[in-house]
Chains A and B, each alone.
Chain A
Amino acid sequence: MTVPALLLHLLVFPGLLFLVSWSLALEWVDRKVAARMQSRVGPPPLQPLADFVKLLGKEVIQPGGAGGRVLGLAPLLSFASVATAFLLLPVSGSSPLGFQGDLVVALYLLTVPTVALLLVGWSSSNVFAAVGGVRAVTQMFIYEVPFYLALLGPALLAGSWSVSGIVEWQAGRPWMGILQPVGLLVGLVGLQAKLERTPFDIPEAETEIVAGPLTELTGRRLAVMHLAKDALLAAGCALLAALFLGGPLRPFSAALPGAVEGFLWFAAKTLLLLLVLSTMRAATARIRIDQLDAWGWKVLCSLALAQMALVPFLASWME
């Protein structure tokens, strides 16, 4: 890859510029869909961008006794990690930066925002933020295990630890979502929990702990943290689309499509997954952390394990 092509890849497509606009667009779709389900009008298309720009211009308020450096750096760290992970995912074709093991790297990078939330909550010198930070990490320990197990299923079946490699394996074969539907389901639920959306918005439960870890974030810090959340939504959907729905692949086609067509398929699959996530958000109430603990380990984890146990049989049957 030449230097100009690499820079273009990093900064324009599918890098920074695309990721920011794509994330804000997905946020708009999510808000609009949920609003229509709740018989509201919903925001105009540019509202997420307007919110972002407005927050950037707001004063940054530093609470007394809070760790200013952590509060300033954690949002940037979160966004940087998610943006890096997004570079490894196939958007219009196989990612040129992909390598064997990039699935594991991407999963690690996508966990950084949750850890950053703990740091923010802990150094905010605010009891709501502290409780929210602790809840964020508690929740992480519950959903990460089934989420990882579900995402490792496709990797095992395809015999590849590269996201793009798994996509290429699915060309000409049934997609993973058809072979491992339970894995897709667990992946979607795990992603919802990772994104801290209803019914898993326990760390940010407005009526209980104000805004959780975000309580003391203001101005550009809050703007970047929100953007990191949106980017996490985009990256999470892209990851599930690649692993379970063939990413940029055309249905029933053995060949990788061209860049434009590939991107359109990727976008369609992302929107489909987003629709499921938005419906889940609109159709449920927030559960309690102890209820998530019991349900996550007993039900979700068991389902993911059962799906994993089926993978060797699937593999021998595919041959």
Chain B
Amino acid sequence: MAEVLVPIGPQHPALKEPVSFRVWADGEVIVRLEMDVSYNHRGIEKGAEQRDFHRTLPLLERICGICSHSHTTVFAKGIEALMQVEAPPRARAIRTVVAELERVHSHLLWLGVAAHEVGFNTLFMWTWRDREAVQDVLEALTGNRVNYGINAVGGVRRDWPPDLVSTALDRVAPLGDRVRLYADMVAREKTMLARFTGVGKLTREQVLAYGAVGPTARASGVDYDVRRDDPYLDYARLPWKVITDDHGDVLGRTLVRVGELHESLNMIQVLLRDLPPGEIRAKVPRTAPPGEFLSRYEAPRGELVHFLRTNGTDRAERVDVRTPTMANWTSVAMALRGRWLADIPVIVAAIDPCLSCTSRVSLADPEGRDRGGMTWDELREHGIRFYAEGRHER
């Protein structure tokens, strides 16, 4: 059979955000593919350099709709380090609880999406119903369901009265049983096992070579988790362990995430039972002294890095965001080669891609002279011109 071009994306039912895979297939088998991951550039990095630290937080919160708390925490943590202040213990505990609740709702969402990609809609509906409970808890604790707005530079913005904490505990407790049920389904449902086992296989060496992070790396036996290896917030004092697996396929990534669900639920309960008393926000200076800081954080999808450079003003001179999805793309492209067309959705979904977070623009001057960047106004004008001239439809 001749090779056919199957365009998966930028609009396709398997994708929740725009990305384009141009797949050449020989019948049902993938021969090669091209990826275009940048459809939704929003200029957030540039925008973060235009605002003072306090106004940057709500902007960074909107990088991702799932790991919104990750982006604000990693930024606040970095700026606090540059300012040489530390968030009070109670604030750190509250940040940790929200971070782990975020991981729980993200992993439940992922489990549902992965099941949906292989047509198992019952698990999809069930996990999303339980995710609703987590979001209700988040709403009760922070006031919001998606962009929680709990973080501030120097601490958190909202204290939790004891009755609120005990209500949250009551609602989180039953989720452990549900997660055990899903773990059991994943381990025993024959059709799902058939679609997950041996699919998207990556060896430990491949993972290290392509720089994959998060559950994708841990499922191939890479024992690496920023929460343990570069501890921040309260992780050093909490009882938990890094989940790894040796399958190296989609099943392995599922098992790692289900294991992490247990660890996270456990951490949340330990923290909520024993929240440290005291202030929730440290007093911070208006400006940060000149300096550079590489702030690392284990987001639900893997290691998230913000590189921050300050210059003595109340704004960051440079904010560079490296999202885990960016680190995982290469491994996806490698895992897809030679696989079945039907495996594309589940292999892509297995890294839990967050596509719009990965879109970047860089300037290139072919003659290599101009090494400058764009100002905010230039970027804005460029964006308007880009769409007015229809260049996005090339």
Contacts and interface: CB of A to CB of B under 8 A. Distances in A.
Interface of A: 37-40, 127-128, 130-131, 198-199, 201-202, 205-210, 282-291
A205 B119 contact: yes
A288 B5 contact: no
B188 to A, nearest CB: 12
14 contacts: A127-B6, A128-B6, A131-B341, A206-B13, A206-B119, A282-B121, A283-B189, A284-B190, A285-B119, A285-B189, A285-B195, A288-B194, A288-B342, A291-B194
Given A199-B191, A286-B119, A288-B340, 9 more contacts: A38-B125, A39-B125, A130-B4, A206-B119, A210-B12, A285-B194, A286-B191, A290-B340, A291-B194
B116 interface: yes
A127 B6 CA distance: 6
B292 interface: no
A290 B28 contact: yes
A40 B116 CA distance: 15
A286 B12 contact: no
Nearest to B121: A38
A127 B12 contact: no
Contact of B345 (A207, A284, A290): A207
A286 B117 CA distance: 9
A207 B194 contact: no
A210 B13 contact: yes
B345 A287 contact: no
Contacts of A128: 6
Contacts of B386: none
A199 B340 CA distance: 17
Interface residues of B, number: 32
Contact of B118 (A37, A38, A283, A286): A286
Contact of A38 (B6, B119, B122): B122
Contacts of A198: 119-121
Interface in B340-376: 340-345
B122 A283 contact: yes
B120 A286 contact: yes
Given A38-B125, A38-B126, A286-B195, A127 B118 contact: no
B14 interface: yes
Contacts of A288: 194-195, 340, 342-343
B115 interface: yes
Contacts of B194: 285, 287-288, 291
A127 B189 CA distance: 32
Contacts of A199: 119, 191
Contact of A39 (B129, B189, B342): B129
Contact of A208 (B14, B121, B125): B14
B22 to A, nearest CB: 11
Given A39-B129, A40-B125, A285 B115 contact: yes
Contacts of A287: 191, 194-195
B342 A208 contact: yes
A130 to B, nearest CB: 8
A16 B14 CA distance: 38
B174 interface: no
Contacts of B6: 127-128, 131
- Nearest 8 pairs between A and B by C-beta? A286-B119, A285-B120, A38-B125, A207-B14, A285-B191, A207-B345, A284-B191, A285-B118
A207 B13 contact: yes
Contacts of A37: 122
Interface string B121-165: 110111001000000000000000000000000000000000000
B290 interface: no
B40 to A, nearest CB: 21
A87 to B, nearest CB: 34
Nearest to A138: B28
A208 B28 CA distance: 11
A275 to B, nearest CB: 15
Contacts of B4: 127, 130-131
A46 to B, nearest CB: 23
Nearest to B4: A127
A164 B126 CA distance: 44
A39 B5 CA distance: 39
A107 to B, nearest CB: 27
A45 B71 CA distance: 46
Contacts of A40: 125
B339 to A, nearest CB: 10
